[in-house]
Amino acid sequence: MELQAGLILLIVFIILLVVGMPIAISIAVASMSTLLLVIPFDVATFSSAQKMVGSINSFSLVAIPFFVFSGIIMNNGGIAQKLVNFALLFVGRIPGALAHTNVIGNALFGSISSSAIAASTAIGGVLVPQQVNEGYDRKFATAVNIASAPTGMVIPPSTAFIMFSLVGGGASISGLFLGGYLVGALWSIGIMIVAFVIAKKRKYPTVTRSADTSVKKVLIEAVPSVLLIFIIIGGILTGIFTAIEASAISVVYALFLALFYYKTVKLKDLPAMLVQAVQMSGTIMFLLATSSMMSFAMAFTGIPQAISTGILGLTDNPIVILLLINLVLLLVGMFMDVAPAILIFTPIFLPIVTSVGVDPVHYGLFSIMNLCVGSITPPVGTGLYVGASVGKVKVEQMLKPMLPFYGVILFVLFLITYFPAIVMWLPNLFA
């Protein structure tokens, strides 16, 4: 029965995605089709509705719309160029300086906006043309932008970690946030090393700061935005406020910067931003609700237990199990956005990895990185297509320039998967 249920769930879900059905609707219909195998329609409908409502009836979810809204405010606050100037202070004298600036800018902007697409567009839109004007190869500049765009999704504040904590058995949000800083740093450093080697070989230039751009001016403009990241995690770790309270504080802080400090947003702009935040938050909540329905359908029909038994029946070697899970998640990330993938696959794989001694926080870190890597991987990775569009390069022309970056990203993924101490020492320090 588990095999039949699993096949129906998978086939219906894939067919609906292929015909263009929204992913949340696809999840709901596939789940209902699976439940109808074992229970009557009226019972399946009532139980599913109950699960959907119950899954989003959680005070912890208040953090998501607040973080979404703060990201939208900062995204509309015109801080991209300020972060670019800030990054240049640190890497301006290194060969390929603009490429390194792109990496740091994507990490900072992506973490503030919680969006790889926003980072790729805002930072890459500024820096890719600048790199081309300075003699950089367009495909190289585009590859750097694409490869570093998802780094901000693993650097707090990250809604991906909040969702994982909710479905991952209460995994510590502060632990995920702390580990996320290390994952994001390793990913960024890896990209910068590859960019440095290529830039050195091709003799790409450094950048000299113009006379009218003083260090003081750059810091005054950029540091307040960067401080948002540290205020949130600092407040959570010191116990001044919880993760939910931090999300509300991030909105207040973002409003202060946009309205009074930078003065790049006016009061009349806020209603449109609120509508955008409601739309994005509603999408996330509906995904959470339908994903809980899918989790219920899988649990009721015994699919997770069957998958767990199947994997553990093949091997009980943790190294092999983690390799199999990594491969599955990389494949999933190519076709599915990070949020629904977390909601669907965490209840399946988390019990398997914890049974072989893997810490839930550690699993959260490498699984989310897996899915982020998939977002810039062909054939369907949305980050790849958006980045290529920003760089004005055809996607098929990007495969070769991306290879060295894929290599170093997968190496970092290997390190954090099989050497957990690298990313777990900071969460363990504050445990």
150 cis-preceded (ω within 30 degrees of 0):
no
The string over 298-313, giving b where at least 16 C-beta atoms fall within 10 Å of a residue's C-beta and e elsewhere, is bebbbbbebbeeebee
Q: By 3-state DSSP, what share of the chain in percent is helix, strand and coil, each rounded to 5?
A: 80, 0, 20
Q: Which DSSP category does 194 fall into?
A: H
407-412 average pLDDT score: 95
- The residue behind tokens 């000299």 is 208
* Res 369 pLDDT > 70: yes
Q: Which DSSP category does 241 fall into?
A: S
Lowest mean pLDDT among 55-69, 206-220, 244-258: 206-220
192-206 average pLDDT score: 88
Checking phi first, is residue 263 left (phi over 0); if not, alpha (psi -120 to 50) or beta?
A: left
Torsion of CA 268, 269, 271, 274, to 10 degrees: -150
What was the pLDDT predicted at 1? 61
8 A C-beta contact, residue 266 and residue 4: no
Query: How many domains does the structure of the chain reveal?
Result: 1
What was the pLDDT predicted at 118? 75
pLDDT in tens, 125-163: 878 888 888 888 999 999 999 999 888 888 887 778 888
Q: Which DSSP category does 262 fall into?
A: S
**Per-residue tokens: 321:** 């199990």
The string over 72-101, giving b where at least 16 C-beta atoms fall within 10 Å of a residue's C-beta and e elsewhere, is bbbbbbebbebbbbbbbbebbebbbbbbbb
Rounded Cα distance, 304 and 295, in Å = 9
pLDDT in tens, 290-330: 877 887 887 778 777 777 777 777 787 889 999 999 988 88
**Per-residue tokens: 9:** 């769930």
What was the pLDDT predicted at 143? 93
Q: Letter for the amino acid at 50? A: Q
The domain of 95 spans 2-429
pTM of the complete model: 0.80
